[in-house]
Every structure is written in C-alpha cells, then in structure tokens.
Structure 1
Amino acid sequence: MNQIRPDVIRPGFFSIDAAADRRRNEFDFHNEALLYHSRKVDIVFFGDSITHWWDVATFFQDSGLAIVNRGIGGDTSGHARLRFPADVLQLRPRCVVILIGINNTWALDAFSPADRLSPEEIFREVTSDVEAMVRMAAEQGIRPVVCSLLPTRMDRYARNRERNELVVRINDALRGLAGESGAVYVDYHSRLTDPDGLTLREGLADDGLHPHVLGYEIMADVLREALVAYGISL
C-alpha cells in the first residue's frame, strides 16, 4: 500500500466569517482522498448553495460519470476564484460546471453603507471572477461550463427587482464570455422565469431563491441539453 501522501493544494481560510471556509476542511480531506487513490473525475459542480444543495448524485445517477460537488452555501465569486485551483484544477475533471455570483448581489442590501456596492461594481466582480475561472480551466484542458445565475422571488427585499435586473445583465455578459472563450453556456434563467423575464416562477423554490426538487429537475434537463452537443451525456 502506498504510504506517501499526495501533494494537495489547500487554499487555507479566508477570514473569521467567510462562507467559503465552512467546508474547507471537508473539501481538503476529500480532495486528498481523490488524489491518493488516483480517482478519475469527469465533472465538478462548482458554486454556492444552489450547487451545494443540489443532490447531483441522485439527479445524474444514470450518467455513469464520476461527479464531484464542490458547492459552498454563501460563497461569493471572489472566494470561489481563490479556491478554484484546489477544488477544481487539481482534480483534473473533464469539465467544470460553474454557477456563482448571486451572493455578491446581497451587497445591494447591506445594512452598513460601507458594505454596500453598486450594481456596476457587483457586475464587474462577478464577470471578472468567472472569466478568470474559465481561463484557468481552459489552460488546464478542462472544459468550462458557464451557467446563468438564477432569477429570484424575494419580495421582502426592497431592491429585489434591481437584483433581478442585474442578474439579467450578468447573464448577458456570461453568455458573451462563453461564446468568446469556447465555453459551454447553460441558460437556466430563461427556463425558470415568469413572463416578465426577471422573476423566478412561483412553485420552484420555497424561499424564492433556492430551487426545490421541481426547480432542480428543470435545471438538470437544461444542463443535459446544453452538454449533449459537446458529447457529454448526463
């Protein structure tokens, strides 16, 4: 039996309250196990709570693919970018499904003025971070799959319409990024919205943000449709 531990990329902890730190030890242990056993990884699902809570093993159990979930509830695009080498690149999957950015938009509603960001600042954050991750993946021969942000239906937030309008702007930019870079673009948004093109349809999420099983079923269908054209069957 091999008694030598593999060299593992560990990004460390970002702050005392960073959402990305909540699963850091878990992911470090799991990444080391995959590397130690030289396990093949076909797809890494990478993102925030919408990925974290997606039971991809059940939704894609008939694919025959080795699928790893590296979603962290509450994660933002900036911290996702920093942990990308550890949780994606070193696992060398065939492709990475990236869905990140909605948590950046909470800066619209931040209680403290010092923590608030404008829509333009949030737009630049998300698009530049996703672009960097797409570039890193492509450089390692990993096909990046760029997913649209999901619409929301959270009337308790005064700026929710502004949030949903920002989501549309970000998605337009992500679609353009995918086209320019050769990444796959997955348009969840248009299949989940009301006729207004902005708001999450009723009956797809209990809290107006996180899809329940019916929302995830739509997302699974959309992802399969997008990937089949690239010879990836989920």
Structure 2
Amino acid sequence: MTTILVVDDEPEVVRFVRRGLEAEGYRVLTATDGGDGLRMALTRKPELMVLDLRMPEVDGEAVIAAVLVSSPNTRILVLSAVADAEARVRCLEQGVDILPKPFTIRELLARVRFGLRGAAGKETPDLVLRVGHILLDIRTRKLRIDGSEAALSEREFLLMQHLMRKPDKVCSRSELLSAVWGYDFDPATNVVDVYVRRLRGKMTRDVIQTVRNVGYQLQSA
C-alpha cells in the first residue's frame, strides 16, 4: 500500500486531505508542524509528501530541502496560499508540484496520482530514443550527442524526452509545463526556460531552438 505523509499546521486541512486520500486506499501519516513532518519523512520514507509551505518551527521549504537531500526520489506536493512567485519557482525548480489553496479533493487526488506515476516511472517499449545524432537512454537517463554523454536529472530527462518524441514540432511553454510538471499554465513561472538552459549546458551543440513568444523546438537535423 502506498504511504503518503500529510504535513499542515491547519488541523481541518489535515483531516480533509486525510479523508480524501484514505477513501482512495492510500495509507496516510500526518503531522501538524514542519519539525514533526521532517522527522516522519526521514524515518518512515513515504512515497509522497503533501505539505504546507508556511508552518511553525520548520517551514515547508526547509522540509523539502532536507527530504530531497536524504531521499531524492520522494515526490512532494505543496499545498499553499503563498502568493510569492519566487517561492513557487523555487519549488518547481526542485521538481516539487504546487496546488494553491483553496483546492478541491478532486484536484488534490489528480495531483497525487500524477506524482506517484512519476515516482514509479511509466514503462515504455522504447529503451533508447533517437533523433538524428541525439540519443536518450530511458533506463539510465543519459543523453548522448556526437559521442559526448551527460547524465540528466529527473525533470531534465522528462523535458528532453517530451521534446524528442515531437522532433521538429513546436512545443509551447504551457504544454511543456503540463507534460513535465503536471502544472497548469502560470505566466509568473519561468521554470521551463530554466530547465531548457540546463539542458543546453549539457550539450556539445544546441539542438533546442527557441520559438519566440511560443516555446521550444527540438531540431532533428
């Protein structure tokens, strides 16, 4: 049974989320402050965490940083009413999804299912994707161009995989944000551009073309 840890300093939110998750068959652990939440995350090793960003003792961003150092494969969903765009971007850049408050249980469950799919990894019959001289190994997340090899982070890999499955086609920023981060379009975030720059920094030549005011295109030639 999949274990999910819920951390929020609002008891009514914890009860609401717990009821919804348990109704779907998940095992749910709970904590009402960041310190307890962090200790439970490090000792109980849940597959996914749902936590508030602003909490007493230890805030959500500190919890995220500590958990990802100890267990980098843990999936995290932030529930937050924080309007700070920089805080949202920092979360997204670490591969953390965000669900703004208030939210419905259907929205929550959809985000949880998306996060768990990413944790498990979707099976694919293509073990190596090839576009021209570009190769992407699905098993090892290694990118090869002209004989040079680079290891990709999870989000870099998912972004490159999406672009390689649509060679020479323009992918909008909103499409990439949805496909890679499972996030509705947010004009305040530049996380797609940040990750494209990271990918370019790992390539011997730039094969990702910027399509001004739209998005990006992977060139096959």
**TM class, shorter-chain normalised?**
0.3 to 0.5
* Larger gyration radius, structure 1 or structure 2: 2
Higher strand share: 2
Higher relative contact order (CA 8 A, sep 6+): 1
